[in-house]
Amino acid sequence: MGKIFCKICGGRVPVLTKEEFSEYRIVYMDCVRSIKKYRVETGASVQEAAKLYAPALDKFEELTGFRGDDAFHLYRKHYAPTYGEPCHKCGDYFQTRIRQVCRNCGEPRLRN
Ligand SMILES: [Zn+2]
Ligand SMILES: [Zn+2]
């Protein structure tokens, strides 16, 4: 499992592989549906309904060991294939095209 440095999560945090993401996505989409339904039925605010994201956060934790607090952010930003090739030494993602040295282990990027 690769990791990225994430300002929102406040540190070095796992990203999901394609397979893990498809599992997470199912749970996340279920949450989105139940939140919509809940808000229509109760008139709850977005903040009040956010507790219904718990199953998605549970799923992310089950897959990666990391407990986040923003399921939407994890859905949008913690998907490995959007970060290109990982570091060949430690598996972390470079995150930008410009970075030539791994932020985690200092290994230079391989040129292909
Ligand atoms: Zn994050
Ligand atoms: Zn590395």
Copy the structure tokens of residue 69.
């607090």
Grouped pLDDT means (10 residues each) for the chain, 112 residues: 93 96 98 97 96 98 97 97 92 91 94 68
Find the 80 Cα to ligand 1 centroid distance in Å: 12
Q: How many domains does the chain have?
A: 1
Residue 35 lies in a domain: yes
Per the CB < 8 A criterion, the answer to whether 12 and 64 are in contact is: no
Find the 77 Cα to ligand 1 centroid distance in Å: 6
Residue 89 lies in a domain: no
Over the stretch 50-82, which tens digit does the pLDDT of each residue have?
999 999 999 999 999 999 999 999 999 999 999
Distance CA 46, CA 28 (A): 16
Query: pTM above 0.75?
Result: yes
Residue 108 lies in a domain: no
What residues are neighbours of ligand 2 (ion), with CB under 5 Å? 87, 89-90, 92, 102, 104-105, 107
Burial of 50 (0-12, 13-18, 19+ CB in 10 A): middle
Residue 42 lies in a domain: yes
Residue 70 lies in a domain: yes
